[in-house]
Chain A
Amino acid sequence: MYTFIAIVQKEFQSAVRSKRFLIFGGIFVLLALIGAYYGNADLSRSISPVTGVPDPASHPVNYVMSVVYSYSRVLLSILALALSYDALTGERSGRTLVQLLVRPIQRSTIFFGKFVAYLATAGGLFVVTTLLLYISLSLTTRRFPSSADVDYLFLSMIIILLYLTSFIAIGLLISSLTRTNLDSMLGAVFIWILLLVFTYAGVSLGLGVLHLGATSDIPYTEFPAYAKILLWINPGSHNVAEQSLDGNFLILSSGLNYASNVIFLIASIIVPLLPAYFFFKRSDVV
């Protein structure tokens, strides 16, 4: 446990000091602020029954937070990948992996120590930013949330953390499969774009089959299976954070019920994380 904490501590310090964290973290905070104070001008607009965005009349602050989420979620996935994509290749190319593994320390300690550190870094930034915005929005609008609203906020934050974790796991998988930092970076960019393409392709194919153009209330449940699968591959497409903010667990988001979406999110963490660990454990150090 002592060595695990040492790894987490060191990785956390490295991550927080890194340029990529300062850049992407800074943009995330900026977008969150813009989302909070300039992205919610139309509080009276109709609420999509598909995404489950909370009602601005009954949950004003939670509604604003859903706008914040939609503005900043993309940045969170980039931040998570940016922190983790070269977690292992960086140790290899910097020849520090040798320095680690010559000591009585398990590879699992290194791997999961990094995983926890990145989650603490990106997740910590998200949690602090969200809570500060929530408090400041409540104070500035004088629309104080109910205790249920606060509970829903915490639930939605857990969902966003799961989403974030899935991208950290994807980053670690890329890092365990590649040998150089450049390969890792290209892999991360490729995967990020690919997931986006999958989502758009899934929606386009689904709408195409239904002979529908772009619509704000996309009928996901009527999509053919292949379009749904393409859509669901991207952890970002499981749009349950907004639904959690509303506390409405009955609607079908992205064509799935709430529990299935959460299970999908958890699966999108485990599916890349386990092979990443397996490949790292089996790989030669040099």
Chain B
Amino acid sequence: MNVIEVEGLTKVYDKGHIAVEDASFTVEQGAAFGLLGPIGAGKSSVINMLLNFTEPTSGKIRIFDYEIPAQLAEAQKKIGYLPERPGFYNNFSAERNLRFFASLSGAREDQDELIQKLFLLAGLEGKERIRVSEYSLGDRKRLGIAAAMLNEPELLVLDEPSAGLDPQGRRDIVALIHELNVHDVTLFLATHNVRDIAETCDVVATMKSGRISVPTTAKGFIAEVRGRTVQIEADIVNMNERVLQAIKSVRGVKSIECERLRITLESRPGINEDVNYVITRAGGRLRALRESPSLEEAYVRMMGEETVE
């Protein structure tokens, strides 16, 4: 069953700027769908139209088989939304905020229990009574996820969930999102961060200058982004012939440039871990490892090439 069906969606703003051009895609139930594109590509405009924050110029949207905007209220009962910068009432505590938003989704007998559960899920236990103005951006994102989950949605729409977070914060949020998807929540994730896609999505469509590509599997897309080979530069303590031979034995390693210890290898999942494992077993210790090109570099390069075309 398709959770989202979009057909010929177009948004032209007042000054003639085309934000979204003839976009069509579907999102299946249980999928983690990623919409990847640079800032300004039109991703947020797609979300704004899906959630009826702005009216499309043309095109059709169906969510859970409900026509948007005609049957919006029905669809909204099943949708949760995490904006890029979640807004809260700063002079209220986090708990008061959640209680208020929960009350807008209708009265529930188990409201207290649900809110406590969500604080736990978001990793905010112990911070319930703190005013939102005292929350860090990472905690606001977590609270945003908790707020988005108040109606126990079947579809979670996320706009740049990791934007502005430090590496640890990003990792935590991505793990949280991934966990939600495991529990059968369909995800629609718009991001400019290819790592978010690699770590959370199973289907991806790219977006550029208002145009959306045909969705493909995330694995295939990431492989395409990386190319077939990558290089890693390793800084190894106790480097010796035994370690060198061990690295050579790893499946997928094509060549080793000994001077800077630059290893060229096939792009396959888990190969970095395999290299690390054999080094350790051979008595060496990996101090640092730099992948070249990184996923981000490869993605930017790919997007650049597309522009040239």
CA distance A223 to B53 in the complex (A): 50
- How many A-B residue contacts, CB cutoff 8 Å? 72
Q: Is B70 an interface residue (CB 8 A)?
A: no
Query: Is there an interface contact between A284 and B90, defined as CB atoms closer than 8 Å?
Result: no
CB distance from B224 to the nearest CB of A (A): 33
Given A17, A95, A285, which contacts B86 in the complex, CB threshold below 8 Å?
A95
Q: In chain A, residues 103-121, which have Cβ atoms closer than 8 Å to a Cβ of chain B?
A: 103-105
Task: Report chain A residues within 8 Å CB of B73.
Answer: 104
Query: Is there an interface contact between A99 and B106, defined as CB atoms closer than 8 Å?
Result: no
Q: Which residue of B lies closest to A106 (CB)?
A: B73
Given B53, B76, B91, B105, which contacts A98 in the complex, CB threshold below 8 Å?
B53
Most buried by B among A99, A100, A285: A99
CA distance A100 to B106 in the complex (A): 13
Query: Is there an interface contact between B104 and A6, defined as CB atoms closer than 8 Å?
Result: yes
Q: Is A213 an interface residue (CB 8 A)?
A: no
Query: Is there an interface contact between A99 and B87, defined as CB atoms closer than 8 Å?
Result: yes
Task: Report chain A residues within 8 Å CB of B83.
Answer: 95, 98-99
CA distance A101 to B81 in the complex (A): 10
Q: When A and B form their complex, which 4 residue pairs have the shortest distance between CB atoms, in order from nearest?
A: A95-B87, A285-B53, A6-B103, A96-B87
Q: Which residue of B lies closest to A5 (CB)?
A: B103
Given A2, A10, A103, A284, which contacts B107 in the complex, CB threshold below 8 Å?
A2
A286-B53 contact given A10-B100, A99-B86, A99-B147, CB 8 Å threshold: yes
Q: Which residue of A lies closest to B81 (CB)?
A: A102
Given A102, A105, A286, which contacts B54 in the complex, CB threshold below 8 Å?
A286
Can you report 19 A-B residue pairs in the complex whose CB atoms are below 8 A from each other? A2-B106, A3-B104, A7-B104, A10-B100, A14-B91, A14-B92, A94-B87, A95-B85, A96-B89, A98-B83, A99-B101, A101-B52, A101-B53, A102-B51, A102-B79, A102-B80, A103-B104, A103-B151, A285-B48
CA distance A17 to B91 in the complex (A): 9
Task: Report chain A residues within 8 Å CB of B81.
Answer: 98, 102
Query: Is there an interface contact between B91 and A99, defined as CB atoms closer than 8 Å?
Result: no
User: Scoring B residues 40 to 69 as 1 if CB is less than 8 Å from chain A, else 0, what string do you get?
Assistant: 000010001001111100000000000000
